[in-house]
């Protein structure tokens, strides 16, 4: 169906002369008579079905499209990006983890939704296969998928994380190095599974990362989805999620720290298409320096067939200096009145001088005071990630950015990766010497510096 | 023994109508162990004096000197002033979400003392100080002033006063918003700090009721950004009876009774 006929159809529906009467006992039960955004949105694997993004399009109004134009036309993927899978701690992958390659066209590749924009369609066009991480049973240790970029040639990558029925597992995807990557992560949380997926973006300067996550959460399942974006010139991630059965729960959490010249954009699109599901989206970001730009767009669409929906989305931005810009836009589309809740909140605030003065008047030096306030801003969220292995290292990474010391940033980021090797990641300088390739790579770079 | 000297202090603030002079040459000397009450009508510049001494960036110093034992506070940042021994208990303590009281207090004490207190003595000192101020131990885990009631905020200020052990404390309207019991507990804390460390106190207040709990040695009347009269505790009694009328422009009237 083309756009024109869709519009004609909806126009016809609205013009319907006899509107169905609402049941006075249940006035909200009737489906809305407005065309929903889902009816209009293009979903297709075919690049040519998607228009070339411009800033005039709603989905790209905050995006500096000219800086990611290379991802708008089909390209040959370099295939150079290094991907490895290992346990977050210990030597062997725990029981219940299966790693395999899936050819394009074979399930489950391409089964979770369809590309929602041209960038995602270009990714689909560029890849031949996907890396599948299949999880079943109780997986004792989080699984680390390291994605390491080695150069700035265009590349595409397709990952699938599939938790079987009743599985309980955590997966961390860690992006490091230099890359220009168009990536898709398909996430399937099977019936009654409990799945945690964390995506860390710690790219080196000059990197670009676009694409998105397509997620489905099964009946009675609980998904925790964490996104931490700290590095990369441009990171633009679109996260589309819907439900495959009732009484499921989706918790999405995002943390970003934007520095001069960076554009970090996150778009969460939750579609409530099943009864009695819960969704929470909480993204927080700090911005520092001229030209630091973040964009967060949170969409929640509650369809007529999703009674009992409980949804909430929140975005808070802390501008640490002048010259930084945060765009924040929550959208709610509710087509069912019989819901538990649908809320949103969004704010962009300047660093509070009164807080700074209060702390300073107690003898705390300005730089420490700033760090305390930013800690306070992020701490609750960092704890909620639910991975103690990541939490303290992440705080150190944020601290280092706050201090603005390039070497400290590098060292702290290294720790965030390297601490994945062992239980203890305290102050062990050798921690980086064994383990992931990416850790080795980074430690070399640190030494050169 | 320490001395806080304020010499011909002048300060102004930026307003929509332009720069406004608020302090017009303040002169005041406080010795360790002394309690000075600064009393005055609303808008006389009492709070401006308190914040200017503490180094709030909103107020611009246009002249004068403030010395603690000869060291010029006005050349220091707010945190350096705290390290030099000055403490401001604020009328409206600022909320800092996400920063726990324990973390905040320990960071502050470490900064002021120049080294971190040992965990054991610190934990003991903190819990005892909180107990004396009738503060629930759970308080330490809450975010700084976040969601505190008016009384809780003032107790938290006095807790900091007791832990940071400054040479001089400025209490800005510490009695405001307190019921009788809370006023007594908070006042006891201030008196305790004075007894233990020989603290010098500059108590900024509009009303006389706190003076029943924290006895002043010297009472100053503050008006038009200046000290206009100085006397003993009996001056406060007179203000209670007569109000601030004689210090106000013709026609205005204000009481010193809470």
Give the pLDDT confidence score for residue A431 in this predicted structure.
Answer: 32
Specify if B14 maps to a domain. yes
Specify if B181 maps to a domain. yes
How many domains is chain B built from?
Answer: 1
User: Tokens in use for A383?
Assistant: 């704890």
Model confidence, pTM: 0.79
Give the pLDDT confidence score for residue B257 in this predicted structure.
Answer: 66
Percentage of chain B beyond pLDDT 70 is 98
| Residue A54: count of CB within 10 angstroms of its CB | 12
A367 touches chain B (CB under 8 A): no
| Residue A350: count of CB within 10 angstroms of its CB | 12
Contact B11, B37 (CB under 8 A): no
Cβ contact (<8 Å) for B55 and A360? yes
21-60 of B, contacting A, C-beta below 8 A: 54-57
Cβ contact (<8 Å) for A361 and B88? yes
User: Tokens in use for B216?
Assistant: 């002043």
Q: State the CATH number of the domain containing residue B221.
A: 3.40.50.300
Cβ contact (<8 Å) for A376 and B99? yes
User: At CB < 8 A and 24+ separation, what contacts does A151-154 make?
Assistant: A151/A78, A151/A80, A151/A178, A151/A179, A152/A178, A152/A179, A152/A180, A152/A206, A152/A207, A153/A78, A153/A80, A153/A180, A154/A70, A154/A71, A154/A75, A154/A76, A154/A77, A154/A78, A154/A180, A154/A182
Specify if B164 maps to a domain. yes
Report the gap between the CA of A384 and the closest CA in chain B (Å).
13
Backbone angles phi, psi at A380, to 5 degrees: -60, -40
Give the pLDDT confidence score for residue A414 in this predicted structure.
Answer: 62
Q: Which residues pair with B172 in a beta bridge?
A: B204
Cβ contact (<8 Å) for B94 and A368? no
A383 touches chain B (CB under 8 A): no
* Closest A-chain CA to B54: A361
A353 touches chain B (CB under 8 A): yes
Nearest to A376 among B54, B78, B143 (CB): B143
A38 touches chain B (CB under 8 A): no
Q: B83 versus A15: which is more confidently predicted?
A: B83
Domain ranges in chain A? 36-352
Give the pLDDT confidence score for residue B256 in this predicted structure.
Answer: 72
Q: Which of chain A's residues have a Cβ under 8 Å away from the Cβ of B94?
A: 352, 354-355, 357-358
Give the pLDDT confidence score for residue A438 in this predicted structure.
Answer: 30
**ipTM summary value:** 0.95
Contacts of A435 (CB under 8 A, 6+ apart): A86, A418, A420, A421
Give the pLDDT confidence score for residue A403 in this predicted structure.
Answer: 77
Q: With bands split at pLDDT 50, 70 and 90, how would you rate the model's confidence at B176?
A: confident
Length reported for chain A: 449
Cβ contact (<8 Å) for B98 and A375? yes
Percentage of chain B beyond pLDDT 90 is 83
pLDDT tens for each residue of chain A, 449 residues long = 444 444 444 444 444 445 555 566 665 555 555 556 665 688 999 999 999 999 999 999 999 999 999 999 999 999 999 999 999 888 899 999 999 999 998 999 999 999 999 999 999 999 999 999 999 999 999 999 999 999 999 999 999 999 999 999 999 999 999 999 999 999 999 999 999 999 999 999 999 999 999 999 999 999 999 999 999 999 999 999 999 999 999 999 999 999 999 999 999 999 999 999 999 999 999 999 899 999 999 999 999 999 999 999 999 999 988 899 999 999 999 988 899 999 999 999 888 889 999 999 999 999 899 889 888 899 889 988 888 888 888 888 888 888 776 676 777 676 665 544 333 323 333 333 332 233 232 222 222 32
A360 touches chain B (CB under 8 A): yes
Specify if B158 maps to a domain. yes
117-156 of B, contacting A, C-beta below 8 A: 143-144
What does the DSSP assignment read for A285-305?
EEE-STT-EEEEEEEEEE-TT
Number of cross-chain residue pairs from A and B with Cβ atoms under 8 Å apart: 80
Specify if B219 maps to a domain. yes
B196 touches chain A (CB under 8 A): no
**Residue A275: half-sphere exposure toward Cβ, Cα within 13 Å:** 4
* Closest B-chain CA to A368: B107
> Which H or E run contains A40?
helix A37-40
Q: Is B41 helix (H, G, I), strand (E, B) or coil?
A: coil
Cβ contact (<8 Å) for A376 and B88? no
Cβ contact (<8 Å) for A355 and B96? yes
Specify if B29 maps to a domain. yes
62-101 of B, contacting A, C-beta below 8 A: 77-79, 81-83, 87-88, 90, 93-99
Q: What is the mean pLDDT of residues B83-109?
A: 95
315-344 of A, contacting B, C-beta below 8 A: none
* Closest B-chain CA to A381: B98
Give the pLDDT confidence score for residue A2 in this predicted structure.
Answer: 45
Contact A283, A314 (CB under 8 A): yes
Specify if B145 maps to a domain. no
Q: Which residues pair with A180 in a beta bridge?
A: A154, A208
Q: Which of chain A's residues have a Cβ under 8 Å away from the Cβ of B104?
A: 359, 362, 372
Domain coverage including residue B174: 3-94+150-203+215-247
Cβ contact (<8 Å) for A362 and B108? yes
Give the pLDDT confidence score for residue A150 in this predicted structure.
Answer: 96
Q: Which of chain A's residues have a Cβ under 8 Å away from the Cβ of B160?
A: 362
Report the gap between the CA of B99 and the closest CA in chain A (Å).
5
Report the gap between the CA of B164 and the closest CA in chain A (Å).
8
CA distance A85 to A88: 9
Specify if B197 maps to a domain. yes
B161 touches chain A (CB under 8 A): no
Nearest to A362 among B97, B103, B164 (CB): B164
């Amino acid at each position: 169906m083309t756009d024109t006929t869709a519009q004609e159809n909806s126009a016809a529906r609205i013009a319907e002369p006899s509107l169905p009467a609402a049941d006075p006992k249940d006035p909200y039960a009737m489906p809305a008579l407005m065309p929903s955004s889902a009816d209009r949105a293009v979903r297709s694997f075919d690049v040519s079905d998607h228009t070339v993004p411009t800033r005039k399009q709603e989905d790209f109004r905050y995006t500096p499209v000219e800086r990611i134009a290379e991802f708008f036309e089909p390209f040959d993927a370099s295939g150079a990006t290094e991907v490895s899978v290992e346990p977050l701690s210990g030597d062997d992958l725990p029981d219940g983890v299966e790693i395999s390659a899936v050819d394009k066209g074979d399930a489950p590749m391409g089964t979770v939704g369809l590309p929602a924009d041209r960038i995602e369609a270009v990714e689909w066009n560029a890849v031949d296969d996907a890396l599948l991480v299949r999880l079943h049973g109780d997986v004792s240790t989080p699984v680390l998928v390291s994605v390491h970029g080695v150069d700035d040639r265009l590349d595409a990558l397709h990952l699938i994380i599939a938790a079987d029925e009743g599985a309980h597992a955590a997966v961390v995807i860690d992006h490091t190095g230099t890359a220009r990557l168009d990536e898709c992560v398909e996430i399937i949380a099977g019936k009654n599974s409990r799945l945690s997926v964390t995506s860390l973006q710690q790219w080196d300067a000059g990197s670009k990362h676009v694409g998105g996550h397509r997620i489905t959460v099964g009946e009675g399942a609980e998904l925790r989805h964490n996104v931490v974006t700290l590095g990369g010139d441009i990171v633009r991630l679109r996260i589309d999620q819907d439900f495959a059965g009732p009484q499921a729960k989706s918790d999405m959490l995002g943390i970003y720290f934007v520095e001069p010249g960076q554009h970090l954009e996150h778009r969460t699109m939750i579609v409530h298409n099943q009864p009695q599901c819960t969704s929470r989206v909480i993204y927080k970001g700090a911005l520092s320096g001229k030209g630091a730009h973040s964009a967060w767009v949170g969409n929640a669409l509650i369809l007529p067939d999703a009674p009992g929906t409980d949804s909430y989305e929140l975005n808070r931005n802390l501008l640490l200096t002048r010259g930084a810009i945060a765009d924040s836009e929550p959208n709610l589309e509710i087509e069912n009145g019989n819901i538990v809740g649908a809320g949103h909140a969004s704010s962009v605030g300047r660093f509070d001088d009164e807080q700074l003065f209060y702390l300073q008047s107690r003898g705390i030096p300005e730089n420490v005071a700033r760090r305390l306030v930013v800690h306070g801003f992020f701490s609750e969220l960092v704890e909620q990630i639910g991975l103690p292995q990541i939490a303290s290292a992440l705080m150190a990474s944020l601290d280092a950015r706050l201090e603005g010391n390039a070497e400290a940033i590098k060292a702290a980021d290294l720790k965030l990766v390297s601490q994945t090797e062992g239980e203890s990641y305290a102050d062990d300088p050798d921690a980086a010497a064994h383990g992931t390739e990416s850790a080795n790579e980074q430690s070399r770079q640190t030494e050169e510096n | 023994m320490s001395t806080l000297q304020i010499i011909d202090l002048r300060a102004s603030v930026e307003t929509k109508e332009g720069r406004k002079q608020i302090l017009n040459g303040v002169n005041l000397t406080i010795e360790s162990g002394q309690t000075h009450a600064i009393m005055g009508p609303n808008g006389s510049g009492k709070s401006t004096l308190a914040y200017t001494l503490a180094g709030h960036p909103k107020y611009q110093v246009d002249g004068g000197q403030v010395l603690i034992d000869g060291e010029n506070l006005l050349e220091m940042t707010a945190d350096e002033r705290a390290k030099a021994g000055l403490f401001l208990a604020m009328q409206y303590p600022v909320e800092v979400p996400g920063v726990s009281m324990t973390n905040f207090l320990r960071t502050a004490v470490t900064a002021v003392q120049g080294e971190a207190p040992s965990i054991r003595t610190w934990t003991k000192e903190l819990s005892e100080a909180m107990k004396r101020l009738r503060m629930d131990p759970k308080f330490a885990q809450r975010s700084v002033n976040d969601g505190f009631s008016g009384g809780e905020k003032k107790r938290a200020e006095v807790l900091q006063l007791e832990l940071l052990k400054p040479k001089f404390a400025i209490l800005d309207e510490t009695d405001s918003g307190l019921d009788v019991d809370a006023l007594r507990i908070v006042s006891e804390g201030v008196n305790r700090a004075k007894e233990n460390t020989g603290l010098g106190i500059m108590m900024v207040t509009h009303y006389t009721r706190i003076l029943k709990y924290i006895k002043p040695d010297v009472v100053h009347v503050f008006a038009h950004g200046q000290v206009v009269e100085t006397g003993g505790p009996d001056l406060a009694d007179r203000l209670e009876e007569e109000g601030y009328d004689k210090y106000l422009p013709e026609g205005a009237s204000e009481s010193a009774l809470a």
